[in-house]
Structure 1
Amino acid sequence: MKRPLSTRLLLQLQSPTRTLTNPYICTSCFQSRRARFSTSPRLNANPPPPPQSSYALLPSRRLISLSGPDAPHFLQGVITANIAPSTPRTSGFYAAFLNAPGRILNDVFIYPDSNNLLKGKYDGSGGENWIVEVDAQAAETLYKHLKRFRLRAKFDIRLLPEDEMQTWSLWKEDKSKEVGMGWTPHTIPTETVPAPAGHIECVDIRAPEMGKRLLLLGGSKPPAEDTEGLVETDEMSYTIRRYLKGVAEGQDEILRESALPQESNIDYMSGIDYRKGCYVGQELTIRTHHTGVVRKRILPVQLYGAKEDEPQTLEYKPEVEIAAPPAETQIGRFEKRGRSAGKWLKGVGNVGLALCRLEIMTNAMQGEGAGYKEGDEFKFEWKTEDGAENLVKVKAFVPAWHLSK
């Protein structure tokens, strides 16, 4: 016999698995629901620090294949690097695609497929097969851009499925002299070294100890001889390392049709050849190099609380829970008035990248116009969707490899 409604309600209120605020929701469900929709930060939500010696698959990267006799000539006219130096290339290199006014469309790695691993439409002899590695979010856009300007050039272009070929990054930070791992300017392989038979590779010379990159057919892992002494990790470890070294990558950090090559450190990262022939966007790039002053650059930054002391060294602290500003939030002076000192790009936890005005935020520019003084502090200030005001302080760091350029 079914009990009266009043009796059922009384039993529910007396049950230890019910809450007094809502007799129809049990405690466990209520706690689960509250945790799911809570807006307060979770403790230890940040990823751990990256391993010193490791390798990681990079799902954020996609590949475009250009196969045919006209592929190198076409690429030579649309990228900032030189695809045809004095000796034939057997490994990948860093470069960028620009638009006509000299703004960055995409930062890329370009690899010769000398062994024709992708079995292109045309014979791979003579270095006629090339692979462009680009930000996965922008791969479709770049693919359509290249197809539009191919015209009657004799080469086939194809956006590779994600599982056909993948990008891996390998690194060591133990000052190893092994080529491609503990990188120094004297360990870059010459272009006469034969290409490996089973994969395509590239020393990542954008910054010291960035390691090397491998292109492997889908489902494959780096060879055992390359991963000896390394542990496999995820792409987040690779990303945190990039931020700590001040290396921007992809269109969330190098803003499409807005960023300039020198402001994005493409020149410092060996991505521009100032002695090559004409290419799209060359005029402004060359003029800036010879006559202009680069007053803004992407730098690694550290976020810290409004009541905390300024950090003296750049350090990723996973235990720190701090709110990051929305993308492109302007940098202001802390407790002072003045023009914008830059803007936020992207980060993880308490570290990230920002486009910074050097004369305001650093002592890298001396002389007339330099406004930085020791002890100056800077901030991000913004409102959330519910109207709450947020403020965090930010410190910019000039990497040592900038100063050596």
Structure 2
Amino acid sequence: MPNTTLSNRAVIRLSGEGVRDFLQGLVTNDVALLAPARPVWAGLLSAQGKALFDFILWADGEDVLIDCEAARADELAKRLTLYRLRRPIVIGRGDALAVHWSAEGEAGSPDPRLAALGRRWIAPADGEAADYDERRIALGVAEGTAELGVDKTLWLEANAVELNGVSFSKGCYVGQENTARMHHRDKLRRRLLPVKIVGAPGDEAELRTGEGKAAGELRSQVGDVGMAWLRMEHADGVLTVGSAEAEVIWPQWLQDQTAASA
């Protein structure tokens, strides 16, 4: 069996009375949707609706497990502890557990953001999974601080609507007002999108049009694909980043949903 552990992910366990109600008032998605084998992608935002953390929630009996970026797991646990106040909720690292991924097979559950990304589950660690980030970026699924930043990218700019990361019916959460306003006014002018890169950008990150206009920022790169934060008016055509060229790989899921809403 191939190795499946995502070593750049970690697990936080929340247990105690009222765990789901606690999270319901904080995160972008509807925690009531959580069920065995049905994880939920969500974010914890600033009051302005910008991403502070993104993660996948899992039901584990009465507990909730958070599948999150390993480098910021302790920071996320600390932030949740601040919000907890006097609630009888225990927040701790699930160090005996790891996040697993496979591009195919029947283990685990389909990724809640995009089924084409593959399947994931939580279990004790094995060896490092290969090709996850390259596949994820090529499919246009952004995650983590490198791509979303911290208080830098609006949650809807991470394609949260199209990738099942936000509920507009569940009620209040941190950053809800601005997120809902943007959605209902259709004011999304920038998105995180995958790009095909030809050449070597070097240390450059700024994307420009052929006329030299600022178009956005290259946030990450694996092989010849990258994740870019782009102004939508400049997302068509060839862009430059340093001495390299970049062109948007329009994800099929985004094309389908854009056509459906037209």
Answer yes or no: same fold by TM over 0.5. yes
**Hey, what's the Cα distance between the residues in 2 that align with 1:337 and 1:241?**
30
Aligned with 2:75: secondary structure? Answer: helix
The answer as to whether partners of 1:266 and 1:272 remain within 8 angstroms in 2 is: yes
Matched letter for residue 279 of structure 1? Y
Question: Which has the larger Rg?
Answer: 1
Q: Look up the match of 1:195.
A: none
The answer as to whether partners of 1:324 and 1:347 remain within 8 angstroms in 2 is: no
Q: CA deviation at 1:299?
A: 1.0
The answer as to whether partners of 1:54 and 1:171 remain within 8 angstroms in 2 is: no
Q: CA deviation at 1:234?
A: 4.2
The answer as to whether partners of 2:209 and 2:234 remain within 8 angstroms in 1 is: no
Q: CA deviation at 1:256?
A: 1.1
1:83 to 16, 22, 31: 31
Q: CA deviation at 1:60?
A: 0.3
Matched letter for residue 203 of structure 1? P
In structure 2, relative to structure 1, the CA distance for the partners of 1:274 and 1:326 (3 Å cut) is farther
In structure 2, relative to structure 1, the CA distance for the partners of 1:209 and 1:54 (3 Å cut) is farther
- After the TM superposition, which residues 214-293 of structure 1 pair with which residues of structure 2 at under 5 Å, given as runs? 214-216=121-123, 218-219=124-125, 234-293=128-187
2:89 to 137, 140, 155: 155
Matched letter for residue 98 of structure 2? Q
Q: Look up the match of 2:208.
A: 332
The CA deviation string for residues 93-151 of structure 1, in whole angstroms up to 9 with x for no partner, is: 1111111111111110001111xxxxxxxxxxxx2x11111101111111110111110
Tell me whether 1:97 sits opposite 2:28 in the alignment: no
The CA deviation string for residues 2-42 of structure 1, in whole angstroms up to 9 with x for no partner, is: xxxxxxxxxxxxxxxxxxxxxxxxxxxxxxxxxxxxxxxxx
Quote the RMSD (CA, aligned, Å).
2.0
Tell me whether 1:211 sits opposite 2:118 in the alignment: yes
- Is the helix fraction higher in 1 or 2? 2
Q: Percent identity?
A: 29
**Hey, what's the Cα distance between the residues in 2 that align with 1:96 and 1:325?**
31
Tell me whether 1:165 sits opposite 2:97 in the alignment: yes
Q: CA deviation at 1:324?
A: 3.6
TM-score relative to the length of structure 2: 0.91
2:79 to 125, 145, 148: 145
Q: CA deviation at 1:380?
A: 1.0
Q: Look up the match of 2:13.
A: 65
In structure 2, relative to structure 1, the CA distance for the partners of 1:265 and 1:325 (3 Å cut) is farther
In structure 2, relative to structure 1, the CA distance for the partners of 1:325 and 1:396 (3 Å cut) is farther
Matched letter for residue 326 of structure 1? D
**Hey, what's the Cα distance between the residues in 2 that align with 1:353 and 1:54?**
27
Matched letter for residue 84 of structure 1? A
1:344 to 218, 228, 245: 218
- After the TM superposition, which residues 1-80 of structure 1 pair with which residues of structure 2 at under 5 Å, given as runs? 56-80=4-28
**Hey, what's the Cα distance between the residues in 1 that align with 2:110 and 2:45?**
23
The answer as to whether partners of 1:325 and 1:344 remain within 8 angstroms in 2 is: no
Q: Look up the match of 1:33.
A: none
**Hey, what's the Cα distance between the residues in 1 that align with 2:192 and 2:135?**
15
The answer as to whether partners of 2:190 and 2:229 remain within 8 angstroms in 1 is: yes
**Hey, what's the Cα distance between the residues in 1 that align with 2:251 and 2:28?**
23
2:234 to 360, 364, 368: 360
Q: Look up the match of 2:260.
A: none
1:395 to 247, 251, 254: 247
Matched letter for residue 136 of structure 2? R
Q: CA deviation at 1:55?
A: 5.8
The answer as to whether partners of 1:55 and 1:171 remain within 8 angstroms in 2 is: no
Q: CA deviation at 1:275?
A: 0.6
Matched letter for residue 301 of structure 1? V
Tell me whether 1:380 sits opposite 2:256 in the alignment: no
Name which structure has the greater RCO, CA cutoff 8 Å, separation 6+: 2
Q: CA deviation at 1:160?
A: 2.5
**Hey, what's the Cα distance between the residues in 2 that align with 1:289 and 1:155?**
33
Structure 1 stretches lacking a partner, 5+ long: 1-52, 115-126, 173-177, 182-200, 222-232, 306-322, 363-375, 382-390
**Hey, what's the Cα distance between the residues in 2 that align with 1:272 and 1:153?**
25
TM-score relative to the length of structure 1: 0.60
Q: Look up the match of 1:130.
A: 64
Aligned length: 256
Q: CA deviation at 1:348?
A: 1.3
- Is the strand fraction higher in 1 or 2? 2
Matched letter for residue 243 of structure 1? I
Matched letter for residue 61 of structure 1? R
Matched letter for residue 73 of structure 1? D
Aligned with 1:263: secondary structure? Answer: helix
The answer as to whether partners of 1:135 and 1:250 remain within 8 angstroms in 2 is: yes
Matched letter for residue 294 of structure 1? L
